[in-house]
């Protein structure tokens, strides 16, 4: 039998917030700081919240106004506990100072996102991982989280998985000032759950570090009765809600259900009827099993690929403004296809509308279905549409024309657009022949070497596409050498255009 493997899961604690604190010379563990672009109004989502603010119950992806409201409540509570029930004029963002002086008002720092700085910091931390494991044994899960198959390195470093995790976390803190949390497990799932759930409930060491460890036995002992189910990796609110309807609330419940007999109500067939093939993953995880390895992830190549681009607009855009942005994004999508050497034969457009303000605005939505968000605001149902291009291509004119055609068909001119998503649904390498089966009516003239009108038209279209793609490749070369805004189209100068600003951003935020 093969020896049990040892996996590490490492998460950089409140990464963006910690990176900003370090840059400002502040302690990431004791400083109240959020990463958010306040220029986008108080409704903007915070990309990160520091640990000391999370201790007040503030969510990691709260909106800025929610943080402001929470801090008002915190200061009211501080006032009630202060001597004389009065706070002084001074304030602090440091949790230690606040604990020592009850007269201080609690405040927080708002740091504007700097995505390129975070990418550089993440790359530096990845170089630390490479000092302990080769790239083939590291899976980058996100900008602030990785999995490491440490099995073959434990003998080299003469240590346990827990000790190796501590060395890596200590190195990260020493070289970057950023604290990390780690989980150690006999498979990737257990390492992830140890980090996400168990590590949060154990005391931190003197450096603020938490490292937890799980194997199948300890997982079942510690977490089979844990609630809520949404704390577990890959269990969302929808899955948890459907399980609750069955009277299943814990991983232990799922495990017991999976071993029920054919005559029992609770058996694995019940789970398969509800979740299909995904029930297998759910049952495996309930027992603490995970057959997938990092080697499997590295070897995986999807049979089909798509390419998408999307954005949330800074305000509600009217019909004509949104049309301009769709045209811009279609050109961006075409350039992305050329950059990857891909072509597509089908495109998709998704439109999300601005929320309506008050019941009196219902008439503006016409016959479109409405729903309410968690704040009680009315929101029109999103619109979606797709179109086949009739050929595989990466030519921007073909993709732009198709996207604008879909926009004309599905966009509601009475509503303001807030979100756009453009997708090249089916893609293939440009050099790869199409696998589509095409049927052709025999033609006597073609047999004599005489091309019919349709064949001539197809050849001309192909030549035009190839010429256009060559121009797009030249544009890409210029942009890569001189910057994304070195070349732009006239439409990008429109007041409602977004391309030039987006070219200065990473992930929709300031670079």
Same domain, 345 and 375: yes
* pLDDT score, position 446: 57
**252 or 200: which leads in pLDDT:** 252
Same domain, 270 and 371: no
Average pLDDT of every residue of the chain: 90
Evaluate whether residue 370 is within a structural domain: yes
Same domain, 364 and 267: no
* pLDDT score, position 457: 81
How far apart CA 133 and CA 135 sit, in angstroms, is 7
- On the 0-12 / 13-18 / 19+ scale of CB atoms within 10 A, 495 is exposed
Same domain, 288 and 315: no
- On the 0-12 / 13-18 / 19+ scale of CB atoms within 10 A, 183 is buried
Evaluate whether residue 289 is within a structural domain: yes
Q: What are the pLDDT digits (tens) for 122-152?
A: 999 999 999 999 999 999 999 999 999 999 9
Range of the domain at 359: 307-436+445-510
Same domain, 427 and 387: yes
Model confidence at 462: pLDDT above 90 = no
Pairing of strands 211-214, 505-506: unpaired
How far apart CA 100 and CA 97 sit, in angstroms, is 5
Pairing of strands 383-393, 342-353: antiparallel
Q: Which CATH number covers residue 241?
A: 1.10.150.20
Evaluate whether residue 200 is within a structural domain: no
The residues with which 243 forms a beta bridge, in sequence order, are none
* pLDDT score, position 355: 85
* pLDDT score, position 13: 92
* pLDDT score, position 1: 38
Phi, psi of 133 (to 5 degrees): -155, 155
Same domain, 269 and 356: no
Helix (H, G, I), strand (E, B) or coil at 398: helix
Evaluate whether residue 363 is within a structural domain: yes
Same domain, 262 and 364: no
Same domain, 461 and 364: yes
Q: Which CATH number covers residue 37?
A: 3.40.1170
228 prior amide bond cis, ω within 30: yes
Same domain, 291 and 316: no
Evaluate whether residue 151 is within a structural domain: no
Evaluate whether residue 196 is within a structural domain: no
- On the 0-12 / 13-18 / 19+ scale of CB atoms within 10 A, 432 is exposed
Nearest CA to 56 among 37, 32, 80? 32
* pLDDT score, position 360: 44
Pairing of strands 109-111, 33-35: parallel
Q: What are the pLDDT digits (tens) for 474-492?
A: 988 888 888 888 887 878 8
Give the end of a domain, one of 51, 76, 111. 111
Sign of the C-alpha dihedral computed for residues 296, 298, 299 and 305 taken in this order: positive
Q: What are the pLDDT digits (tens) for 435-448?
A: 555 555 666 555 55
State the total domains in the chain.
3
Evaluate whether residue 143 is within a structural domain: no
* pLDDT score, position 374: 67
Give the residue-averaged pLDDT of 257-268.
94
Q: What are the pLDDT digits (tens) for 337-380?
A: 999 999 999 999 999 999 886 554 555 555 567 777 666 778 89
* Contact assessment for residue 29 and residue 51, using Cβ atoms and an 8 Å cutoff: yes
Helix (H, G, I), strand (E, B) or coil at 285: helix
Q: What are the pLDDT digits (tens) for 150-186?
A: 999 999 999 999 999 999 999 999 999 999 999 999 9
Whole-angstrom CA distances from 420 to 99, 118, 358, 411 are 46, 26, 24, 11
Same domain, 243 and 385: no
Q: Which CATH number covers residue 346?
A: 3.30.1490.100
How far apart CA 420 and CA 422 sit, in angstroms, is 7
How far apart CA 155 and CA 139 sit, in angstroms, is 21
Give the end of a domain, one of 296, 321, 347. 296
Pairing of strands 307-317, 48-49: unpaired
Q: What are the pLDDT digits (tens) for 201-225?
A: 888 887 778 999 999 999 999 999 9
Q: Containing H/E element for 49?
A: strand 48-49
Q: What are the pLDDT digits (tens) for 409-431?
A: 999 999 999 999 999 999 999 88
Evaluate whether residue 353 is within a structural domain: yes
Same domain, 287 and 321: no
Give the end of a domain, one of 111, 134, 165. 111
Same domain, 289 and 237: yes
Whole-angstrom CA distances from 246 to 196, 227, 278, 287 are 26, 16, 17, 19
């Amino acid at each position: 039998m093969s020896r049990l493997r040892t996996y590490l899961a490492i998460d950089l604690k409140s990464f963006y917030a910690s990176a900003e604190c370090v840059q400002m010379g502040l302690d990431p563990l004791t400083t109240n700081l959020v990463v958010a672009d306040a220029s986008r109004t108080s409704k903007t989502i915070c990309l990160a919240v520091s640990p000391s603010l999370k201790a007040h119950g503030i969510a990691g992806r709260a909106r800025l106004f929610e943080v402001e409201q929470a801090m008002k409540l915190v200061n009211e509570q501080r006032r009630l506990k202060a001597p004389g029930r009065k706070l002084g004029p001074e304030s602090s963002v440091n949790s230690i100072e606040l604990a020592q002086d009850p007269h201080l008002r609690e405040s927080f720092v708002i740091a504007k996102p700097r995505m390129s700085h975070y990418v550089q910091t993440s790359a530096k931390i990845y170089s630390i991982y490479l000092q302990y494991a080769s790239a083939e044994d590291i899976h980058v899960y996100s900008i602030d989280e990785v999995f490491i198959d440490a099995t073959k390195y434990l003998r080299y470093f003469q240590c346990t998985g827990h000790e190796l995790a501590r060395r890596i976390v200590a190195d990260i803190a020493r070289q970057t000032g950023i604290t990390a949390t780690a989980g150690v497990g006999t498979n990737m799932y257990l390492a992830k759950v140890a980090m996400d759930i168990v590590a949060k409930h154990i005391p931190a060491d003197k450096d603020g570090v938490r490292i937890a460890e799980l194997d199948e036995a300890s997982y079942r002992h510690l977490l089979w009765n844990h609630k809520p189910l949404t704390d577990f990796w890959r269990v969302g609110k929808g899955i948890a809600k459907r399980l609750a309807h069955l009277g299943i609330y814990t991983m232990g419940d799922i495990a017991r259900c999976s071993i029920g007999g054919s005559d029992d109500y609770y058996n694995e067939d019940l789970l398969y009827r509800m979740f299909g093939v995904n029930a297998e993953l759910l049952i495996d995880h309930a027992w603490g099993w995970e057959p997938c390895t990092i080697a499997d992830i590295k070897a995986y190549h999807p049979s089909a690929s798509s390419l998408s681009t999307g954005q949330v607009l800074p305000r509600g855009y009217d019909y004509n403004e949104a049309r301009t942005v769709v045209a811009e994004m279609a050109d961006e999508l075409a350039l992305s296809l050329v950059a990857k050497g891909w072509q597509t034969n089908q495109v998709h457009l998704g439109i999300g509308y601005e929320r309506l303000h008050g019941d009196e605005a219902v008439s503006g939505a016409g016959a479109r279905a409405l729903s309410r968000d968690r704040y009680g605001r009315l929101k029109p149902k999103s619109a979606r549409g797709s179109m086949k291009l009739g050929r595989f291509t990466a030519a921007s004119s073909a993709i732009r024309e198709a996207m604008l055609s879909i926009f004309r068909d599905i966009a509601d001119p009475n509503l303001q657009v807030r979100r756009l998503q453009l997708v090249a649904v089916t893609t293939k390498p440009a050099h790869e022949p199409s696998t589509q089966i095409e049927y052709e009516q025999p033609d006597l003239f073609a047999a004599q070497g005489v091309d019919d009108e349709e064949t001539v038209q197809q050849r001309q279209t192909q030549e035009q596409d190839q010429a256009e793609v060559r121009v797009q490749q030249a544009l890409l070369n210029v942009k890569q050498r001189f910057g994304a805004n070195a070349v732009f189209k006239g439409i990008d100068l429109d007041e409602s255009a977004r391309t030039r600003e987006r070219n200065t951003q990473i992930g929709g935020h300031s670079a």
